[in-house]
């Protein structure tokens, strides 16, 4: 890769930053680049009892041209130990260590019409923070994943999703509690083995032993997704495991904070990773980090900020939160991108499971994430680079953002939700039960505020249209989503100005 950098103060600072990371102790411990083979798990069907358990969407997939399947994977997985320092530069040298038998499951959503398949399989490391499995990247981007014709695969990579945990929500929704007859035979040896299990899923999708989960579809690329704690696991996977096997052709690191997950943990001896770790700069496949306001300040992604390269991009999106209303509530009904999903409303509950003191963020994350899904597909497919994102603007000590006169954060990827707003949309810490601190907030403008900003409905629609077209021109929205936002604008006015 050859490129030139104009000699400016900014470029000198960038080169110094890269030099300092290159000189860290751990960069001398790059792993052996000899490719290792991935064990091939046996793929079988689950017992003929019960039904697939995954809280993913409310609609019937068949009505949108998709079908769902579940498969069990079993084999022997490997944990890893480090052979050098795990430094902030992400150049982590590891080697295979202990082994253990496992049996887990994957859930596959694939187009009914095989000719609609675009060749990309999006493999999501299911999130288990709640004490059971959820697919937040699917929840945020499922519309574009389906519009594009991708296959989606959800992976039960971690122990909690199968056996439960006392640190999540007090709901018995882990697999063995939901359906012990269907899932009772699953066996997870612990999260130290999750990385190799995730690699073996890739092997089973490309070269299945037993049943073929993709039923003969011509797979061109596997792209890994992970949100929140799953994003942290992907950071460790990218830095430590990917160089040994290279099983995935790209990565969506969705809403990571400053950290990366432990390389090993109980019942094995813990191998911790450093705070503020970079994605290793010699990565040979695209990595897109997608960050909300909550992630950059509250979860301290700012400590892991690094310069963009031809293989690494980070998007920081204004007016968004780590978890929002679309991902966990309204988007579960979004079958075709109806303009109603562009609405900004005040809602304090997540499906009755969680109640927050203030309305959850209802910002534009899903629309920009849709663009990210397509951008990553294009990047992996033909090398088309995504646009570079402006960074959200922080105060001097990095403890908060700088805000405009209306109370919305400055900087980052701009959309009509930040530049022609009908509300204050923040990624700040909400309060209440469960995980409310991750859900940001929405505060609708009064009728008087709307009138003072835009005069009348026509003025508001014009402002939204101009801001939407600007975001489209900057390449952070898709045309079909931009049209939905513009179409909804007059109805948003009517909601707020009787």
pLDDT digit string (tens) for 323-367? 999 999 999 999 999 999 999 999 999 988 899 999 999 999 999
Give φ, ψ of 146 to 5 degrees: -75, -45
What pLDDT is stored for residue 257 in this prediction?
Answer: 97
Give φ, ψ of 198 to 5 degrees: -65, -35
Give 167's pLDDT tier (boundaries 50, 70, 90).
Answer: confident
Over residues 127-144, the mean pLDDT reads 97
Over residues 485-489, the mean pLDDT reads 98
User: Does 2 score more than 50 pLDDT?
Assistant: no
Lowest mean pLDDT segment, chosen from 5-19, 130-144, 154-168, 376-390: 5-19
Share of residues in the chain with pLDDT > 70 (%): 93
Give 384's pLDDT tier (boundaries 50, 70, 90).
Answer: very high
Q: For residue 310, tell me if it sits in a domain.
A: no
Over residues 166-190, the mean pLDDT reads 94
219/111 Cα distance (integer angstroms)? 13
Share of residues in the chain with pLDDT > 90 (%): 89
Lowest mean pLDDT segment, chosen from 147-161, 162-176, 404-418: 162-176
What pLDDT is stored for residue 351 in this prediction?
Answer: 82
Stated as kind and residue range, the H or E segment containing 293 is: helix 293-293
Q: For residue 238, tell me if it sits in a domain.
A: yes
User: Does 289 score more than 70 pLDDT?
Assistant: yes
Q: For residue 460, tell me if it sits in a domain.
A: no
CA separation, residue 62 to residues 55, 110, 341, 374, 413 (Å): 17, 10, 21, 23, 35
What pLDDT is stored for residue 7 in this prediction?
Answer: 32
What pLDDT is stored for residue 433 in this prediction?
Answer: 84
User: Does 318 score more than 90 pLDDT?
Assistant: yes
pLDDT in tens, 424-482: 999 999 999 889 999 999 999 999 999 999 999 999 999 999 999 999 999 999 999 99
Q: For residue 15, tell me if it sits in a domain.
A: no
User: Does 14 score more than 70 pLDDT?
Assistant: no
Number of domains forming the structure of the chain: 1
407/237 Cα distance (integer angstroms)? 38
67/18 Cα distance (integer angstroms)? 46
User: Does 21 score more than 90 pLDDT?
Assistant: no
3-state secondary structure (DSSP) of residue 136:
helix
Strands 221-227 and 250-254: parallel
Where in 190-307 does DSSP place strands (E)? 209-210, 221-227, 250-254, 287-292
- Asked, as a colleague might, if the bond just before 267 is cis with ω within 30 of 0, I would say yes
Q: For residue 87, tell me if it sits in a domain.
A: yes
Q: For residue 60, tell me if it sits in a domain.
A: yes
CA 389-390-395 angle, 5° bins: 140
Give 34's pLDDT tier (boundaries 50, 70, 90).
Answer: low
What pLDDT is stored for residue 206 in this prediction?
Answer: 95
Give 18's pLDDT tier (boundaries 50, 70, 90).
Answer: very low
425/419 Cα distance (integer angstroms)? 11
User: Does 103 score more than 80 pLDDT?
Assistant: yes
What pLDDT is stored for residue 16 in this prediction?
Answer: 30
79/269 Cα distance (integer angstroms)? 11
Q: Mind spelling out the 3-state secondary structure of 329-392?
A: CHHHHCCCCCHHHHCCCCCCEECCCEEECCCCCCCCHHHHHHHHHHHHHHHHHHCCCCCCCCCE
The neighbour count for residue 65, using CB atoms within 10 Å, is 12
Specify the residue for token string 């299990």.
197
User: Does 371 score more than 60 pLDDT?
Assistant: yes
User: Does 210 score more than 60 pLDDT?
Assistant: yes
Expressed as residue numbers, the domain containing 234 is 26-285
Average pLDDT of the residues of the chain: 93
228: closest CA among 450, 476, 439, 488? 439
CA separation, residue 111 to residues 107, 147, 203, 415 (Å): 14, 10, 21, 31
pLDDT in tens, 402-416: 999 999 999 999 999
The neighbour count for residue 296, using CB atoms within 10 Å, is 29
Residue 474: half-sphere exposure toward Cβ, Cα within 13 Å: 20
- What residues contact residue 2 under an 8 Å CB cut-off, 6+ apart? none
> CA dihedral in degrees (113, 250, 369, 305; nearest 10)?
180
Q: For residue 49, tell me if it sits in a domain.
A: yes
Q: For residue 254, tell me if it sits in a domain.
A: yes
Where in 171-256 does DSSP place strands (E)? 209-210, 221-227, 250-254
pTM, entire model: 0.92
């Amino acid at each position: 890769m050859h490129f030139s950098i104009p000699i400016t103060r900014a470029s000198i600072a960038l080169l110094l930053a890269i030099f300092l990371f290159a000189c860290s102790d751990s960069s001398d411990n790059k792993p052996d680049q000899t490719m290792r083979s991935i064990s091939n798990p046996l793929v079988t069907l689950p017992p003929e009892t019960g039904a697939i358990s995954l809280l993913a969407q409310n609609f019937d997939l068949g009505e949108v041209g998709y079908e769902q399947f579940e498969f069990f994977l079993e084999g022997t997985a490997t944990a890893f130990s480090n052979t050098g320092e795990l430094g902030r530069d992400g150049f982590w040298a590891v080697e295979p260590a202990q082994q253990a038998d496992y049996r887990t499951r994957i859930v596959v959503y694939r187009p009914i019409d095989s000719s609609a398949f675009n060749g990309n399989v999006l493999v999501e490391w299911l999130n288990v923070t709640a004490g059971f499995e959820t697919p937040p990247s699917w929840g945020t981007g499922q519309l574009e994943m389906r519009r594009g014709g991708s296959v989606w695969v959800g992976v039960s990579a971690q122990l909690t999703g199968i056996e439960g945990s006392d640190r999540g929500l007090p709901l018995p929704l882990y697999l063995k509690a939901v359906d012990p007859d269907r899932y009772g035979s699953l066996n997870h040896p612990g999260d130290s083995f999750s990385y190799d299990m995730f690699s073996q899923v890739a092997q089973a999708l490309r070269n299945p032993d037993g049943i073929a989960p993709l039923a003969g579809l011509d797979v061109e690329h596997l792209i890994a997704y992970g949100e929140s704690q799953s994003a942290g696991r992907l950071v460790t996977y990218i830095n430590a495991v990917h160089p040994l096997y290279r099983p995935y052709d790209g990565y969506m690191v969705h809403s990571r904070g400053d950290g990366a997950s432990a390389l090993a943990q109980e019942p094995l001896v813990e191998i911790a990773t450093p705070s503020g770790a970079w994605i290793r700069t010699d990565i040979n496949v695209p990595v897109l980090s997608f960050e909300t306001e909550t992630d950059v300040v509250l979860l301290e992604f700012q400590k892991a900020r690094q310069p963009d390269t031809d293989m690494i991009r980070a998007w920081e999106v204004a007016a968004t939160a780590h978890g929002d209303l679309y991902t966990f509530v309204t988007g579960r009904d979004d079958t075709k991108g109806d303009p109603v999903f562009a609405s900004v409303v005040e809602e304090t509950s997540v499906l009755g499971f969680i109640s927050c003191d203030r309305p959850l963020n209802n910002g534009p994350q899903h629309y920009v994430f849709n663009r990210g899904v397509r951008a990553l597909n294009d990047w992996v497919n033909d090398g088309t680079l995504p646009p570079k994102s402006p960074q959200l603007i922080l105060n001097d000590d990095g403890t908060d953002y700088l805000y405009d006169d209306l109370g919305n954060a400055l900087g980052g990827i701009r959309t009509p939700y930040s530049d022609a707003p009908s509300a204050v949309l923040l990624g700040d810490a909400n309060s209440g039960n469960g995980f409310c601190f991750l859900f940001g907030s929405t505060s609708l403008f009064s009728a008087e505020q709307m009138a003072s900003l835009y005069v009348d409905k026509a003025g508001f629609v014009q402002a939204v249209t101009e801001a939407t077209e600007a975001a489209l021109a900057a390449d952070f929205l898709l045309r079909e989503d931009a049209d939905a936002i513009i179409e909804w604008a007059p109805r948003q006015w009517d909601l707020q100005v009787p």
